Structure 1
């Protein structure tokens, strides 16, 4: 899986960092993805981060296998 962020709508609320601090880092008005291809063991945390993003700026893109 790969994570994408739409920086045009991200407002830096920090919900993603609260859910997956090893994957996301929040700045004053945007998020930085620290690990764009997190391990499968981090899937639950990443899915929660995507789900709870107030602006829906995050998405998971599944890798083609």
Structure 2
């Protein structure tokens, strides 16, 4: 799995840091730090963070081709550009 955040789009709402703290972390009040190649064990948390981002700044490449959980499939497809939302 590969994670990319459009830092120009990110507004610092920190929903990702709340939902996937092992992958996303706020540095100060506005700067987002993140792991671009997180552990696969974090997949569900990361996909929930993608779905929760109010400005859709997080992109995820599911390298192994695995299907995301149903509750995040639409948001993930929209975020990755792999389907319609």
TM over 0.5: yes
Please show how residues 1-65 of structure 1 align to structure 2 within 5 Å.
Answer: 1-27=1-27, 28-33=29-34, 35-63=35-63
Contact 1:11 1:30 in 2 (8 A): no
Which structure has the larger Rg over C-alpha atoms?
2
Query: Unaligned regions of 5+ residues in structure 1, if any?
Result: none
- Return the alpha-carbon distance in structure 1 between the equivalents of residues 64 and 39 of structure 2: 15
Normalization by structure 1: what TM-score? 0.86
- Return the alpha-carbon distance in structure 2 between the equivalents of residues 51 and 32 of structure 1: 18
Alignment deviations for residues 16-47 of structure 1 (CA, whole Å, 9 cap, x no partner): 000011110124224211x2111111100000
Aligned length: 64
Higher relative contact order (CA 8 A, sep 6+): 1
Query: Unaligned regions of 5+ residues in structure 2, if any?
Result: 66-85
Which is richer in helix? 2
